[in-house]
Structure 1
Amino acid sequence: MPSDREARRDAYVAKTRSELAGLASEGVCMSGNSFSSVLFAKGELNAGEKDGRPVLSGEDGTALRKSLEALGYAPEDWAALSCSLDTGEPLSAETLRRAVAALDPATLVLCDEAAAAAAREAYADELAALPDFAEAMLAPGVVALVLGMRVLNLGGFEAALADRRQKQVMWARLKRVPPLGEPI
């Protein structure tokens, strides 16, 4: 017979599995580890992703995962979410909130301006309550605390890969969200 702890864990896994299956049936595109502390949201999909490849399966995903590892994250500690449905239509603000809540990351990294715009719409009330204007606008490179979650807008990660200087800017931004300490 499972212990109380195992039963709670199994219930949590079943709940998350059900929520993610429901989102997937609605056309929400996700990849990676659903129990990760980092969630990458991508608004501008590349050609491969538009043709059905998983979100962040290209060069940008490889670079983001390597960056996380260099910061000290475990190699599997990431998930990715497209801000577009599998039909190409944008996620509604409510669906984006549900997807982020189901994945429950400690850190949300917005890979491009389209993802930042979607997050601004989805979290408009929470952002409006922030005292710092740059945080409230999810300005590129600024870390905002929204509903207990760190939110960082990279401001165009995939496009930056073609320019050495912009890659350095992206690296400096990612260094602002190191792994959080383990609870005691």
Structure 2
Amino acid sequence: MPTIADDRREACAQKTTAELDALAARGVRAGGNAYSPILVAKGELTTEETGGVEPFSGADGAALRASLKALGYAPEHWEWLLTCDNAGAPLAAGLFREAMCALDPATLVCCDDAAAAAVREAYADDLTILESFEEAMLEPGYVVQVCGIRVLNLGGFAASLADPKAKQQMWARLKRLPPLAEPY
């Protein structure tokens, strides 16, 4: 016999599924675990990704999964979001913000400048109250709080994989985002 808690979980799952389906119908591409505490976003797609290959299924995804696991995130506890539509055009600010509300991450990692630009546009008013210009502009390496979400712009994660020094810099930036709860 289902309990009230089971009914609430099912209702929550149905609501999330409906929201994500509605967003997908409007051009939003997302994947992974929709109940994850960490969301990785990018807007600069590889040739394979524009051809239909799932985002983060290549070297960048493998490196991110390994990094997040090393930080203490469970392997299944991450999700991804593209800040551009299927044609490569940036998502409208309102649509991006709606996707962020539906996914409701505790932490957002912008993997490239296009993702950071989407956050700057969608959360412009919220960013203006931050103390430093670098934080307000989401300069790479700064962890900021925006509407209750930790945000970090890595600043070119995929491109850094070819350079050992740049990879170390990305790792140093990611280490600023330990899990907010106990590691798995």
Q: State if a TM-score over 0.5 links the two structures.
A: yes
Give the TM-score range, shorter chain.
over 0.9
Contact 1:23 1:99 in 2 (8 A): yes
SS of match in other structure, 2:41: strand
Distance 2:15 2:122 in 1: 23
Q: Per-residue CA shift, 1:75-116, capped at 9, x if unaligned?
A: 011111111111222100011101111111110000001110
What amino acid maps onto 1:6 in structure 2?
D
Number of residue pairs matched by the alignment: 182
Which residue number corresponds to residue 147 of structure 2?
A: 147
Once the 2 structures are TM-superposed, how far is the Cα of residue 123 of structure 1 from its aligned partner?
A: 0.4
Distance 1:167 1:56 in 2: 16
**Equivalent pairs: percent with the same residue?**
58
Once the 2 structures are TM-superposed, how far is the Cα of residue 64 of structure 1 from its aligned partner?
A: 0.4
Q: Per-residue CA shift, 1:98-155, capped at 9, x if unaligned?
A: 1111111110000001110111000001101122322211110000001111000000
Once the 2 structures are TM-superposed, how far is the Cα of residue 54 of structure 1 from its aligned partner?
A: 1.2
Which residue number corresponds to residue 164 of structure 2?
A: 164
What amino acid maps onto 1:60 in structure 2?
D
Structure 2: any 5+ residue segments left out of the alignment?
A: none
Which residue number corresponds to residue 24 of structure 1?
A: 24
What amino acid maps onto 2:89 in structure 1?
E
SS of match in other structure, 1:28: coil
Which residue number corresponds to residue 45 of structure 1?
A: 45
What amino acid maps onto 2:87 in structure 1?
T
Contact 1:27 1:87 in 2 (8 A): no
Distance 1:163 1:169 in 2: 10
RMSD: 1.0
Distance 2:135 2:112 in 1: 16
2:60 equivalent to 1:87: no
SS of match in other structure, 1:5: helix
- Structure 1: 4+ residue segments shifted above 6 A: none
Once the 2 structures are TM-superposed, how far is the Cα of residue 8 of structure 1 from its aligned partner?
A: 1.6
Q: TM-score, normalised by structure 2?
A: 0.95
Structure 1: any 5+ residue segments left out of the alignment?
A: none
2:136 equivalent to 1:125: no
SS of match in other structure, 2:80: strand
Which residue number corresponds to residue 105 of structure 2?
A: 105
